Structure 1
């Protein structure tokens, strides 16, 4: 898969990813199509996020011979969905890795401090023994992503990656400053954030477009 990497930020520039992303950006794209495309892109982004997973070998019997064949080493992956929009990416990732464990991280923004507050967290107990891939469609201000990764680390996660559909330069810089040990995989880094914290040109609110709540 074609990808460009800069300071632990990988932009997956595969033609199929970029084509699907363009359709998702179009405001005329229906909720059903948006949801389907997000699921499809999620699987493609997961290929890149899992590129460096460790392999071991196991003995199998093909119809013709016995062989030592590669297989994933260690415990199964954990996909950590940042609610609610992260669930749109989660479904596509589970299509690719159906045996993965799933964590959910719920955050809301305090109206006075404007800082994210965790209201829900459920994950496997042995995060320290697993590769954890946190997912959220948008890395805009990065407030939610930074808080979610902090929560995962506090519960023991050590090997974490972050996957998003779109990122803003401001969000990337803030995220990298807060969690320089967590690589980012995204389909695009857009121009900038507007005064309301939305990515431009972006695609609007991913959760609203995914669930038809706009």
Structure 2
């Protein structure tokens, strides 16, 4: 897996060499959008493997070509993947590659450039979302305003099993998320140095949404 930091719910830093190699390629300013999207999807799939490591299993009977047996299956209701629009969409396909039957919720938030606060413009989730494990997806945990707002929204719907998955995190974002939602565990590929005066993660990789969709 990797190391854990933090005093509230754990922050899991995935140190697998493949994740770190792909993240390094994404950080380069010359990485084209097509390559950036592909690498993000691959890292999301690898992070999905980590964040689902402790899902409960149950034994079910099956018939192999030779004889009956009991085999493990994931227990309970299927997960909900909740990308924060728009950058979170870049992580969705990689997650669905491992969880093809997962339900998908969408949380539309944008960051006000003056206040850096999250403004909601869209929310759609399964009617029984409160009964499922929700993975909130957003490549960057910077100020954490969007992460906190998204988790607030799911908790307002009765969700009590929520995990946050990102590509990069800043110490300031981790601290704020743990302050507001100390029960929510975080999975990330790296914790960078700090935020700058514009709320960007340093050294970071720039604006993830712009780099995913080629709108920089």
Residues 1:81 and 2:83 aligned together: yes
1:105·1:148 contact (CA, 8 Å) conserved in 2?
yes
Unaligned runs of 5+ in 2: none
Residue 26 of structure 1 is matched in structure 2 by 28
CA deviations over 1:6-37 (Å, ceiling 9, x no partner): 23100000000000000000111111000000
TM-score (norm 1): 0.96
Task: Return structure 1 stretches of 4+ with deviation > 4 angstroms.
Answer: 110-114
Q: By how many angstroms is 1:110 displaced?
A: 4.5
1:126·1:156 contact (CA, 8 Å) conserved in 2?
no
2:58·2:74 contact (CA, 8 Å) conserved in 1?
yes
- Give me the whole-angstrom Cα distance separating, in 1, the residues matched to 2:42 and 2:118: 29
1:115·1:143 contact (CA, 8 Å) conserved in 2?
yes
Q: By how many angstroms is 1:156 displaced?
A: 1.4
1:140·1:197 contact (CA, 8 Å) conserved in 2?
yes
TM-aligned CA distance change 1:160 to 1:65, over 3 Å: same
Q: By how many angstroms is 1:205 displaced?
A: 0.5
- Give me the whole-angstrom Cα distance separating, in 1, the residues matched to 2:96 and 2:114: 37
Unaligned runs of 5+ in 1: none
Compute the RMSD of aligned alpha carbons.
Answer: 1.1
TM-score (norm 2): 0.96
1:191·1:201 contact (CA, 8 Å) conserved in 2?
yes
